Structure 1
Amino acid sequence: MLEFALKRLGLTLLVLVSVSIITFALVRLAGDPAVALAGAEASSEEVEAVRIAYGFDRPLTVQYFGWLGDVMKGDLGFSNILQRPVMEVVMERLPVTAKLAGLSLLFALALAIPLGVLAAARRNSMLDRLALSIAVVGQALPNFFFALLLILIFGVTLRWLPISGDSSFLHYLMPAIALGYFSTPAIMRLTRAGMIEVLESDYIRTARAMGLPRRRVILKHALRNALIPVVSLTAVQLGFMLSGSIIVESVFSMNGIGRLGWQSIQRTDLEMMQALVLIISVIYLALNYFADLLNGLLDPRLRVQ
């Protein structure tokens, strides 16, 4: 298991280095950062002064390794728009998005896995059709429209839940449902497909022939193997929730990194945009790494391969 973990860690670090290079290059390819920092109305002398002050006149390789060294020390730069260190702003906003993503994932798993298991256990039944219908609606319904429906029903008509902000647990319920429901179809379909494949395996037939209870066969013997691909998908979905919460956070006026990213694009805050892309990429890679480790624990064949 240790060798498996070290190999996966090596691959993750290689991808991380590639991501850092791409992140650094994209900001430069998007335009002259000195012009963006100085402003559209700045003179050529002012632009040149900004270029020298920020080191944009140095070779790109020197700029990259200097930036990478600062990142390794925890220095993600300074936002000229907010007049604050980037790391300080991100650390203020990240807990909001992390709570939202965590609750969204719990909602998606609590809905998708039981539906997928029941749909596979009762194939072609009314319950199976209901589960597939929920998946189709979830894929077809944009999360911003679903979020507005939730606000209209539970916030405006029934007045059960607050419609904006992030100061209490109740503020997170509607955003978590709106974001989590969008991830439910993929998890549910994969769980159903995995369960159908496992339930047709020889060892499951043997377990049934031995007279084991149906519930025990499904929950103890079949579900563990069926969830192996779901673990990897869950890591990807959690990463999507962390990075793809821009619309939901904007609809519900939540001060997370998703909304911060959108504001940074509007303000042309290059340092903030670069930092957010890097942070979200690191989170994605970390989630996938731990998903690989968990899959290795669940299925020893992966470790051997």
Structure 2
Amino acid sequence: MLSYAVRRIAMACLLTLFVSFIAYSLIFAAGDPAAALAGNASTAADADRLRQLYGFDRPIIVQYLHWLSGVLRGDLGTSLYFDQPVATLLLERFTTTARLGFFGLVLALVIAVPLGVVAGRWPNSMVDRLALLLAVVGQAMPSFWFALLLMILFSVKLSILPASGTASWQSFVMPTIVLGYFSMPAIMRLTRSGMISALESDYIRTARAMGLSEARVLFDYALRNAALPIISLSSAQFGFMLAGSVVVESVFAIHGAGSLAWESISRADLPTVQALVLCFSLFYVFFTMVADMLNAMLDPRMRSK
């Protein structure tokens, strides 16, 4: 297990280095960043001054190494729009987004996994059909539309939940439901298919022939094997919640990392955009590595890969 962990961490470090270079290079893919900073009403001389001021006239590898050295020291630059250190800005915004994503993932797992287990144990039953119906509706309904329906019901009609902001824990209820419901269908369907496949295996028939209780067969044997892809999917879903929460944050007026990404892109705040792309990518790399570690603990066969 230790050798597998070392290999996986080394791969994650190499991938992080590659991602950091892509994150820095993306701003040059859309054109000249100096011209974008100068604006449409600027002259060529204005763009040249900005190019020299920010070092855009140097080779890109030199710029990247200078930027990477600052990142390793915790210096992500200064926001051009907010006029404050990007690291401080990200810390404030990511706290809100991470809390929202964590609650959404927990809600999705609490609902989707038991539903998937029951649906897989009794396929084509009423519970199975209800679970599939919830999955289809969850995949078909846009998140912003579902958010608006919740706001009309709980904020306008019933007046029991705030429609926006982050002043109290009640403000996170509706955004959590929206994010959790959006991630629930994939987790539920994967749990269901994994349980159906596991329950048809020879070791399950052997466990039942040994007289083990149905609950132990379901949760100690079948679910343990079906949990491997669920863990991988959950890590990807959590990364998606962090990076893709811009719609939910916009609807509920939550000032998190998603809304910061939209503000930074629309205002050509290049240092903040670079830092956001890097942080979102690192979250995916980190949680994928954690999922691989957990899968290796559950299935020793993965340690030899």
Structure 1 length-normalised TM: 0.98
Q: Matched residues in 2 for 1:48 and 1:125: separation?
A: 69
1:192 is matched with which residue? 192
1:104-253 map, 5 Å: 104-253=104-253
Report the alpha carbon displacement of residue 298 of structure 1 after superposing the two structures with TM: 0.6
Report the alpha carbon displacement of residue 38 of structure 1 after superposing the two structures with TM: 2.5
Report the alpha carbon displacement of residue 18 of structure 1 after superposing the two structures with TM: 1.7
2:68 is matched with which residue? 68
Q: Deviations over 1:55-108 (max 9, x none)?
A: 111111111111111111111111111111111111111110011000000110
1:35-74 map, 5 Å: 35-74=35-74
Report the alpha carbon displacement of residue 137 of structure 1 after superposing the two structures with TM: 0.6
Report the alpha carbon displacement of residue 2 of structure 1 after superposing the two structures with TM: 1.0
Unaligned runs of 5+ in 2: none
After superposing the two structures, state which structure 1 stretch, 7-16 or 237-246, moved more: 7-16
Q: Deviations over 1:152-201 (max 9, x none)?
A: 11111111111100121110010010011011010001101111111111
Q: Contact 1:34–1:56 at 8 Å: present in 2 too?
A: yes
1:6 is matched with which residue? 6
Q: Matched residues in 2 for 1:221 and 1:36: separation?
A: 57
1:272 is matched with which residue? 272
Unaligned runs of 5+ in 1: none
RMSD: 1.0
Q: Deviations over 1:9-49 (max 9, x none)?
A: 12212221221121111101212111222232223222211
Q: Contact 1:108–1:181 at 8 Å: present in 2 too?
A: yes
Q: Matched residues in 2 for 1:87 and 1:251: separation?
A: 25
Q: How many residues align?
A: 305
Report the alpha carbon displacement of residue 141 of structure 1 after superposing the two structures with TM: 0.6
Q: Contact 2:80–2:270 at 8 Å: present in 1 too?
A: no
Q: Matched residues in 2 for 1:116 and 1:52: separation?
A: 58
Q: Matched residues in 2 for 1:40 and 1:88: separation?
A: 30
After superposing the two structures, state which structure 1 stretch, 287-296 or 35-44, moved more: 35-44
Q: Matched residues in 2 for 1:294 and 1:218: separation?
A: 20
Report the alpha carbon displacement of residue 222 of structure 1 after superposing the two structures with TM: 1.4
Give SS of 1:84's match: coil
Q: Deviations over 1:231-286 (max 9, x none)?
A: 00000000000000000000000010001001111111111111100000001100
| Matching residue's letter, 2:115 | L
Give SS of 2:218's match: helix
2:258 is matched with which residue? 258
Give SS of 1:79's match: coil
1:34 is matched with which residue? 34
Structure 2 length-normalised TM: 0.98
1:86 is matched with which residue? 86
| Matching residue's letter, 1:218 | L
Report percent identity of matched pairs: 53
Report the alpha carbon displacement of residue 287 of structure 1 after superposing the two structures with TM: 0.3
